[in-house]
């Protein structure tokens, strides 16, 4: 009944997001083509994601293993899926088996998880998996992500110790209420400088994934290459009622 109107709204919202992305890029002298929008459809039905796909979008993100494992097989194979946020090592095999078109895991925050991913890619025999390293830039205990002081070591492990993973960059959630301050994002920029200096990489080889619905324009102005946008495109999250 109400569904078609909601689905149309997601496409309209996607266009509005791209408009804002372009403006933020222009304000900071960047090209909007350098910014990738990851449309985060968590808690949203497959039909709604399909609408956004039909409008031409291809990059989607999910945050729960059980959900992406159910949804991905029902959606087109040329979607580039990003798994975003906390991933448990014991769910890696399930995730990689069910989602052959998984493009990236944003973010890896410990050596054990990196090793599990590396081994699973090798066992399955799929192409190398892109990963970003998640950094805790807000200092909240509850947040996952490595301490900024530990990010070089973890990146080094991914690059040198995980031949089946492709290091793509750094990711952060920033503030728990999704309104990051420039300080949070600055912390991630500092991590990138350190990583690139120590590992002898060009900064252009280290993507930054920061910015969500509440703060993506700031993130773009500060150099983010990936913004992960959920509720602004799909509407407020709808968690199923607990039985
Ligand atoms: C849900 C989620 C997002 C999107 O959040 P919105 O505020 O709805 O845009 C981005 N990143 C992560 C890791 C998430 O879990």
Give residue-wise pLDDT tens across range 130-148.
999 999 998 877 668 999 9
Ligand 1: does its nearest atom lie under 6 Å from the Cβ of 230? yes
pLDDT exceeds cutoff 60 at 155:
yes
Q: What confidence tens digit (pLDDT) does each residue in 181-199 have?
A: 788 999 999 999 999 999 9
Atom of ligand 1 nearest to the CA of 38: 10
Ligand 1: does its nearest atom lie under 6 Å from the Cβ of 40? yes
Contacts of 186 (CB under 8 A, 6+ apart): 222
pLDDT exceeds cutoff 80 at 157:
yes
Q: Which CATH architecture has domain 3-234?
A: Alpha-Beta Barrel (3.20)
C-alpha–C-alpha distance, residues 162 and 16, integer Å:
39
Q: Is 225:208 a contact under the CB 8 Å cutoff? A: yes
State how beta strands 165-171 and 129-134 pair. parallel
Atom of ligand 1 nearest to the CA of 42: 1
For helices 3-27 and 46-54, what crossing angle results, to 10°?
50
Ligand 1: does its nearest atom lie under 6 Å from the Cβ of 212? yes
Ligand 1: does its nearest atom lie under 6 Å from the Cβ of 231? yes
Q: What confidence tens digit (pLDDT) does each residue in 25-68 have?
A: 999 999 999 999 999 999 999 999 999 999 999 999 999 999 99
Q: Is 235:41 a contact under the CB 8 Å cutoff? A: no
Write out the two tokens for 169.
Answer: 């960059």
pLDDT at 6: 47
For helices 182-199 and 151-161, what crossing angle results, to 10°?
50
Note the pTM of the prediction, 2 decimals: 0.94
Length of the chain: 243
Give the chain's radius of gyration (CA, Å): 17
Provide the CA 95 distance to its chain's centre, in angstroms: 15
Between the CA of 121 and the centroid of ligand 1 the distance, in Å, is 26
Domain ranges in the chain are 3-234
Give the phi and the psi of residue 184 in degrees, each rounded to 5.
-60, -45
């Amino acid at each position: 009944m109400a569904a078609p109107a909601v689905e149309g709204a997601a496409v309209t919202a996607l266009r509005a997001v791209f408009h804002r992305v372009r403006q933020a890029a222009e304000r900071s002298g960047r090209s909007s083509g350098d910014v990738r929008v990851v449309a985060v459809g968590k808690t949203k039905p497959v039909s709604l994601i399909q609408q956004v796909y039909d409008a031409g979008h291809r990059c989607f993100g999910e945050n729960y293993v059980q959900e992406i494992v159910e949804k991905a097989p029902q959606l087109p194979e040329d979607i580039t899926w990003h798994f975003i946020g906390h991933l448990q090592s014991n769910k890696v095999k399930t995730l990689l088996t069910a989602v052959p078109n998984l493009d990236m895991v944003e973010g890896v925050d410990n050596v054990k998880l990196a090793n599990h991913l590396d081994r699973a890619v090798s066992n399955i025999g799929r192409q190398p998996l892109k990963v970003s390293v998640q950094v805790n830039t807000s200092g909240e205990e509850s947040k996952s992500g490595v301490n900024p002081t530990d990010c070089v070591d973890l990146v080094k492990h991914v690059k040198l110790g995980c031949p089946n993973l492709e290091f793509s960059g750094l990711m952060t959630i920033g503030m728990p209420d999704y309104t990051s301050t420039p300080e949070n994002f600055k912390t991630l920029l500092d991590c990138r400088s350190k990583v690139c200096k120590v590992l002898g990489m060009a900064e252009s080889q280290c993507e930054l994934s920061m910015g969500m619905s509440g703060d993506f324009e700031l993130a773009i102005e500060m150099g983010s290459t990936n913004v992960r946008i959920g509720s602004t495109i799909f509407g407020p999250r709808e968690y199923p009622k607990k039985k």
